[in-house]
Structure 1
Amino acid sequence: MHRYRPLSFIGLSLLFFIITSCSSTKVVSNWRKPDTEGLKLHKVLVLAMTPNTDFRKRVEDKLSETLEQNGISAQGSLAFFGEEMDTLPQTMEDWLPHIQHLEQENFDSVLITKIVGQEGKDSKSAIVRYYNEFFGSFKEDIMKNKDLYSEEEGFKDYYIHRVASNLYCICEQNKEEDLIWKLNVDIKQAFDSDYLVQEGLRLFSKQFIEDLKEEDIFVTSK
C-alpha cells in the first residue's frame, strides 16, 4: 500500500513552474505593409472590440497606458469620445463624423484590437468568424466586426485566447489600403477573473510593445 508523501520544496517549485509556464504568449503572425519603412505615425486611437464595455475599457486603458509609457501618444476610444462611443455606430455613414473628429485632433492612426476564444470550446462560434481575416482598411474591419460588441460570448470557457491587433493609418484615406501592421498573439490564460484578466492584458501588452518597437512605426518622445 502506497503512503501519501507531501511534495518537497523542489517538487512544489517544479509544480509552480509548470502551472505558471502555461500562462504565456505566443506570436502567431506579424505582418507589415511593404514599402512603409519611411512611414512615421504620431498619435493613435486605441479601439478594443470586445463584447463587454467594462472589459473593453480595461483593454483600451491598458494598451494606451503601455503606449504612453513608451513615448507614443495614445488614447482609448471610450476615454476620447466618452459616452457617445458606448454604443458603436452601425453604418459607415455614422462613423464618418467620428473619423473627421479624430483627424481634427491630429490622430493619424487607429489600433483595433480583438480578444477572442481560440481553444477550449466550439471553434465555430460566431464570435470568431471575422477576427483573423485580412482587412485592407479600417472601415472594413469596423463594419465586419461590429457585432463583436453585442455578442454575449464569455471568456471563461476558453483556455487559450487570441489577441488580434490591426494598426490602420487614417492619414491615407485616399489610398486603397491603409492597414499598416498587424500582430496576432495567443495567450494561454483564462479571462474569467479580475486577476487573470489583468495578467492576460499584461502579458499581451509586453509582447505587443516589444514587437511594435521593432517595427519603428511611431515618432516617440523617449
Structure 2
Amino acid sequence: MKNIILILIVATLLTNCSSNRLVHQYKNPETGFFESNKLFIIGLEGNLELREEFEKKLSQAFDKEKVRSVKSIDFFEDSFTKEKKTLEELNTIEQTLLNAGFDAILITKVLGTEKRYYTSRMLHEFMTSNQTFEDYYFGNQYKYLKQKGKKEDYTIHIIETSLYCICPEKERELLWRGEIEIKDSNNNSKNIHNFIDVLFENLKENELLLIYE
C-alpha cells in the first residue's frame, strides 16, 4: 500500500512539473564545450512589446550567469525580424555582427500552441487495478467522452531555440537546437521566466554558454 501511495505521489509531481520541459534537441556532434564572448539574442516575435520583454529578460538572465549578451532590438531597427532577408543581406548582417565582436547568435521563436487535457484524474484506477482490457476500456470510455466536449484544461506553447556560431572560420554553424514546451500561465513574464529556466538547465547540461557551479 505504501508503495502504491508513493507511486501516485511521484506520478502526480511529474504530471505537474513536466508541463515545462525540453521535448526535442539536437547538438552538433562536433560541438564540445562552447563559450561565447558576446552573444546576440533574437526573439522572432511580431508583437514588438512582447519581443522587447522577452529579449530583455533573457539578456538579464545571461548577465547573471556572466555571459555578455546584446538584444537584437537594441542593435538593429524593427525591420530586422519583420522583413525577409536575402542571402546577401544575411552575409552583410553576419559581417556587421563579427565586426561588433559577436561570436554566437541565439534565435528563439514560437512554433505554435496546443491544447492539453489532464489525465491524472484517472491515474489512480490505472495504477491500482488488475482489470482486463475490456473492463478497463469500458470503465473509462464514459469519462473520456464526457471530458471530450469540455473546455481545455491548459495551453502549451511550443518554443524552438537555436544556437549558431558565427566564428570567422565557420559560416552560421548550428551548434544546438531545442524544442521546449511551456505551460501557459496567462502571464507573459512568468511564461518567459519558465522558458529561461528550462533553456538554461539544458544549455548547462550540453556545456553551451553556461556551466554548472
Q: Could you tell me how far apart the structure 1 residues matched to 2:20 and 2:41 are?
A: 21
| Higher Cα Rg, which structure | 2
Match in the other structure for 1:133: none
| 1:44 aligned onto 2:39 | yes
Q: How far 1:214 sits from its partner (Å)?
A: 2.0
Identity of aligned residues (%): 28
Distance 1:23 1:53 in 2: 30
Partner of 2:139: none
Counterpart of 1:45 in 2: which secondary structure? strand
What is the CA distance between 1:25 and its match in structure 2? 0.2
Q: Kindly report which structure 2 residues correspond to 1:13-162, keeping only aligned pairs within 5 A, or say none.
A: 21=16, 24-83=19-78, 85=80, 87-120=82-115, 159-162=155-158
Q: Give CA-to-partner distance per residue, 1:56-88, whole Å, 9 cap, x none.
A: 111111111111111111111011224563644
4+ long deviations beyond 4 Å: 172-175
Output the CA distance in 2 between the equivalents of 1:112 and 1:162.
14
Residue from 181, 184, 199 that aligns with 1:186: 181
Alpha carbons 1:23, 1:187 under 8 Å: kept: no
AA at the equivalent of 1:168? Y
Q: Flag structure 1 segments of 5+ consecutive residues without an equivalent.
A: 1-16, 122-157
1:169 corresponds to which of 165, 171, 181: 165
CA contact 2:22–2:181 (8 Å) conserved in 1: yes
Structure 2-normalised TM-score?
Answer: 0.65
Aligned to 1:126: none
Structure 2: 5+ residue runs without aligned partners? 1-11, 117-153
C-alpha distance in structure 1 between counterparts of 2:209 and 2:174, whole Å:
15
Q: What secondary structure does 1:31 align onto?
A: strand
Q: For the Cα contact (< 8 Å) 2:36–2:67, is it kept in 1?
A: no
Deviation at 1:168, TM superposition (A): 0.4
Compared CA separation, residues 101 and 89, structure 1 to 2 (3 A): farther
The one of 201, 204, 207 aligned to 2:192: 201
Aligned-partner Cα distance in 2 for 1:214–1:22: 19
Per-residue CA deviation, residues 78-134 of structure 1 (Å, 9 max, x unaligned), is 11224563644532222332211110111011111011323139xxxxxxxxxxxxx
Cα distance in 2 for partners of 1:92, 1:74 equals: 25
**Cα gap change, 1:118 to 1:182, in 2 (>3 Å):** same
Aligned length: 163
* Partner SS, residue 90 of structure 1: coil
After superposition, the C-alpha distances for 1:121-156 in whole angstroms (9 at most, x for unaligned) are: 9xxxxxxxxxxxxxxxxxxxxxxxxxxxxxxxxxxx
Letter in structure 1 aligned against 2:205: E
